[in-house]
Amino acid sequence: MPSRSELAARRLVDPMIVEPVAPTRAVQETVTPSRRELANAIRALSMDAVQRAESGHPGAPMGMADFGMVLWNDFLRHNPANPKWFNRDRLILSNGHGSMLLYSLLHLSGHDLTIEDLRDFRQLGSRTPGHPEYGRTAGVETTTGPLGQGLANGVGMALAERALATRFNRPGFPIVDHYTYVILGDGCLMEGISYEACSLAGTWGLGKLICLYDDNGISIDGPVRGWFGDDIPGRFAALGWHVIPHVDGHDPEAVHQAIDQARAFHESPTLICCKTTIAWGSPGKGGSEKSHGAPLGAAEIAATRENIGWKHEPFVIPPEYYRAFDARAKGAVWEQEWNELFDRYRTRYPEVAAEFERRLACGFPPDWENLAWNFIQATQERCEDLATRVASQRALETYGPHFLSLVGGSADLTESTGIPWVGCRPVDFEHPDGNLIFYGAREFAMNAIMNGLALHGGYVPFGGTFLMFADYGRSAIRMSALMKLRCVFVLTHDSIGVGGDGPTHQPVEHVASLRIIPDLSVWRTCDTTETAVAWKAALDRINGPTALIFTRQKLPHQDRTPEQVRAIARGGYVLLDCGDEPEAILIATGSEVQLAVTAARQLNGQGRRVRVVSMPSVDVFDTQDAAYRESVLPAAVTRRVVVEAGVTAPWYKYAGPHGTVVGIDRFGESGPPEVIFQHFGFTTERVVAAVEALFESGATF
């Protein structure tokens, strides 16, 4: 018997069609909506939520509803009662502006997302923000919105799955066995990160990565043929992908067959090209950019309801639809089956199972605190003058072998950034379970893939490049901070100390720009000991990413007491004191600490009382209690000079109204590092003169 919606649709063509007498209750309960009707439920929720919010993107979820419904109902293994179940399939909506597709599916399938949450779409404090946000909405695997990054996150997740499967699976025990699905659109493929990430995915042969391309030919500016004429199937075939072209994205059977085919092909990732119509079902705005980034409007929604035969009020979904989408029962079975499999695995391979559980927890090595602090103290005792990039590698060689979950890599600067450590194993097609990743010259993809590795679980990723090129991957660093991921960004060759490479490679503004990213912890260290502490702090930090800033050039080791060594972890501390209440304070970071120390010793020898504060991490120092901060930087001491080879403006927070900053507010020059530092006034003489000028100006004690 035709459904009510099918009859309604027929009456639009033939008004003589009469709805039959309603069947009995018993018959009603067995009615199952058609595939098209199920997709229409997504369309209705999407257009209603956007209309209620008076803001959003209805066209994308309406166009993706058919293939989204097939993927979710026919293939996706997940448990709505436990969205964090480890062996679930990962699904990423890379074109995050189509968030109502994801929210609708989460709600309909039984996740902790109510109809009231959908009604609160885009409202302050809701669990349905404009773009999906990791940690806010149960079932959202990653924060998406900046186009292309979700796709790159998916590459990281797929790499994690393959690597963990290679390391831990045993015959008859596929404890790591899940797919990563990515839904993406034209905008994701226009962004350059898509090429970077997909090139790596093809090279690595990530066969359990399946991407569904919503090929609707429309962006906010209109039909994309004027600015996006790529042969996408040809492009991805050239990248080593398995491509399924020309799939009707509104034909559920065709989509089902395509996904079946993709799942059976494990030699490489798969791109399924789904041809769709944006805002399918909307008679006035379907296929048009008018449906992309604005509500359809009440009149158009009414016309759409009539056109697709959807007779229900806004936000009303009949029970039979919920029954059709409900994944709670099968999700519970999937998880229970996996739990039973892992119990047998633990019995058969107890040591490997214990390692697997430690990996998933990303916990700390046994006796971690003693191990780390013994190394830090030994570093202090060795008194080595090293470039901090080399000191970083020394720290990795000590910490790395004990952190089973640690995986590092570099954007084609592996040796220069000091990323490899003794015993690390490269990741490649044949050996995906290594812990050293060669990303090639792909800073943006590297950072976004790191985010995917962290999101998947089982890995604490770090990645290295020159500080200058942090700009190439900055958006992914920001997303890492937004999601509070445990990632470590190793950024070497800082400041004008890069020398002969010149201003193109001399990052004068970069440290300041990183420090202002919320929830990103930044360390710029002055010697081997501070570097060892910084690495410990980065590995200890489980609620956000860390950026470690290191030098190309050698730096002198600084003398410290054991108490001072411990104080490094507080972000700022008194490195050199004057034996009495200071008259002036020098604050410095990184390579400029040596200048501050030399200048202070000269001034103290002349009868001044000058303190040196090393502040390797401004954000960590700012979290210390008021009493400690006052003990380091007494408010009464207003003669303050900050020394850092970078832009000056942010430092006036610490210099105060009576202080000054010795820095650089212009681009650098090419030349030997020592000459460049001299040229721009980073000398003991200038620092001494800056302090003396404060005495002469009448700045108060």
Question: Which residues are the active-site residues?
Answer: 443
Residues in the chain: 701
| Contact in structure between 292 and 98 (CB atoms under 8 Å) | no
In angstroms, the CA 512 to CA 522 distance is: 10
User: For residues 273 and 246, is the Cβ–Cβ distance under 8 A?
Assistant: yes
Q: Are 439 and 449 in contact (CB under 8 A)?
A: yes
Residue that has been written with the tokens 């004690």 in this structure: 701
- 646 contacts 508 by C-beta, under 8 angstroms: yes
Contacts of 425 (CB under 8 A, 6+ apart): 431, 433, 434, 435, 436
Q: What angle do CA 657, 659, 661 make, to 5 degrees?
A: 120
CB 555 within 8 A of CB 581: no
N-term to C-term CA, the chain: 91
Residue 45's CB: how many other CB atoms inside 10 A? 27
Longest dimension (CA), the chain: 105
In angstroms, how far is CA 304 from the centroid of its own chain?
37
Bridge pairing between strands 209-215 and 242-248: unpaired
The DSSP code sequence of 57-92 is --HHHHHHHHHHHHIIIII----TT-TT-TTSPEEE
Find out whether 193 and 444 touch, Cβ atoms under 8 Å: yes
Neighbours of 622 (CB within 10 A): 13
Which two tokens mark 558? 């600084």
> How crowded is residue 311: how many other Cβ atoms within 10 Å of its Cβ?
13
3-state secondary structure of 244: strand
**Which tokens is 560 given?**
């410290």
The token pair that represents 694 in the structure block: 């404060």
| Residue written as token pair 């998933």 | 360
At 29, phi and psi to the nearest 5? -70, -20
- Give the strand order in the sheet containing 270-275: 90-93, 180-185, 209-215, 270-275, 242-248
Q: In this structure, what DSSP letter does residue 627 have?
A: H
Q: Where are the beta strands (DSSP E) in 47-185?
A: 90-93, 180-185
DSSP 8-state symbol, 287? T
Q: Is 213 helix (H, G, I), strand (E, B) or coil?
A: strand
Q: Show the 3-state SS of 482-494.
A: HHCCCCEEEEECC
Q: Count Cβ atoms below 10 Å from residue 502 Cβ, excluding itself.
A: 15
User: Would the CA dihedral through 691, 696, 699, 701 be positive or negative?
Assistant: positive
